[in-house]
Structure 1
């Protein structure tokens, strides 16, 4: 068994933005305080300025030993983390939140590594964030790598289209989800786990199974949370490409 370590790093940012000064708002009707509030800020009477603050906390669990094995893995992980950081920072600098005052945003990325063999590894990144709204959001990002050849393997590389893999995968996944969620309207599952490869883009390979991950809202309402199904390799060998 190949062992790996995870590096966790975190960062916090407080973004204070001066939205307007008393001079800029003098032409507006109503009080400066009300006008400032309408822009998502707090009126600082002492400085005669409208201010908004966004606090952003970011935590990333980085798969150090896996990423160190291949430049392709390091690049893929770094690009994904960079995109998520830039997105939440961009949202944090958008001050037009209703009655915003102080916005507390966060981004959390956790990592899990799975080995199908000594040469095939999968990475599961679970992202949770809050950028305002009724509740946090979460989603999955998976990557599978051929360590021997230094390449990333997508769904079509693992499950060649000519083998018509979704004709096997989709019915099994739907049946598992229906059994797990007996009170749910089945149309959620039929749509979110239909025979579309995009629905099965998030998967990892273990030694004896394939695990497919479904984001909140994909196969069930948010209250049901994310879902996953695990299918033994013995049921999928006929539709899979030869792997190391």
Structure 2
């Protein structure tokens, strides 16, 4: 089935809907609806402090949105991700030999709020780390939080790993990426031989990176409408997964109408049915 609503977006086109009231996941009287996960115990508060370090060996810049502090469990995950990235940089700095060229290593990481409703809160982590070589290594992660349950929503929660939807999701994502690839190559006005070579190499990367396995789609963002419900899911792919480094981050958006038949029952209430 071909979906005309598929859209490939650049990272800078990411939108955010205003917070809106949406139906509660609890029935009247405070009793959870059947199938709704039990709220997790509240974790200890975690302070998220922006980091700015400049030395003769390295530079580190990490920024957080203040709103992420509302949810300590989420804040802990964001800090853990940033701490791991910084530790990798520090290990690379320590491993440099005395005779190695004094190239300045760096880590740049920004956490950005991309959705904020009573039912969903989402953060995008984007950045890079340079520890030598031709270019930086990309840093990319997405964190979708369920405030009522105080837990992270992962792609295998929405679409079970053994569910029927993965073949269809993979097919639609692959088709959209192939279309975008063809458009980019057309715009470059390449010779027929060069176009064929680049098309062949890039199509192979798309095929390899979009198999119907849940781990290929682990980084995603909910696109939330004015009613607070999910209108679409953006699957985000880092450089190298579905294209060369020069193509950068790539994003494919699938509408809720295409995904809803495959969404786990307990999360369907999060989605728009329009």
The normalised TM-score by structure 2 is 0.68
CA–CA separation in structure 1 for the residues paired with 2:163 and 2:117? 23
Aligned twin of 2:170: 170
CA–CA separation in structure 1 for the residues paired with 2:49 and 2:263? 33
- Identify unmatched segments of 5+ residues in structure 2: 1-17, 21-47, 186-198, 225-230
Output the aligned Cα RMSD.
Answer: 2.1
Bigger radius of gyration among the two: 1
SS at match of 2:53: strand
CA–CA separation in structure 2 for the residues paired with 1:84 and 1:93? 15
Query: Which is helix-richer, 1 or 2?
Result: 2
CA contact (8 A) 1:163 1:239 kept: yes
Corresponding pairs, count: 200
CA contact (8 A) 1:116 1:205 kept: no
CA contact (8 A) 2:129 2:139 kept: no
Aligned twin of 1:149: 149
CA contact (8 A) 1:192 1:218 kept: yes
CA–CA separation in structure 2 for the residues paired with 1:157 and 1:110? 26
Q: What is the Cα deviation at residue 63 of structure 1?
A: 2.4
CA–CA separation in structure 2 for the residues paired with 1:9 and 1:225? 25
Aligned twin of 2:91: 90
Distance 1:69 1:91, change over 3 A: same
Is 1:200 the counterpart of 2:242? The answer is no
Q: What is the Cα deviation at residue 200 of structure 1?
A: 0.5
Q: What is the Cα deviation at residue 114 of structure 1?
A: 2.2
- Identify unmatched segments of 5+ residues in structure 1: 15-54
Match of 2:64 among 62, 67, 70: 62
The normalised TM-score by structure 1 is 0.76
SS at match of 2:70: coil
Aligned twin of 1:226: 249
CA–CA separation in structure 2 for the residues paired with 1:176 and 1:116? 27
CA contact (8 A) 1:59 1:109 kept: yes
CA contact (8 A) 1:121 1:205 kept: no
Q: What is the Cα deviation at residue 165 of structure 1?
A: 2.3
CA–CA separation in structure 2 for the residues paired with 1:82 and 1:211? 26
CA–CA separation in structure 1 for the residues paired with 2:109 and 2:58? 14
Structure 1 runs (4+) greater than 3 angstroms displaced: 6-9
SS at match of 1:93: helix
Which aligned pairs between 1:1-244 and structure 2 lie closer than 5 A?
Answer: 1-2=18-19, 8-14=50-56, 55-66=57-68, 68-96=69-97, 99-115=99-115, 117-182=117-182, 183=185, 184-185=199-200, 186-207=203-224, 208-241=231-264, 242=267, 243-244=269-270
Q: Using the TM superposition, name which of 110-119 and 83-92 deviates more.
A: 110-119
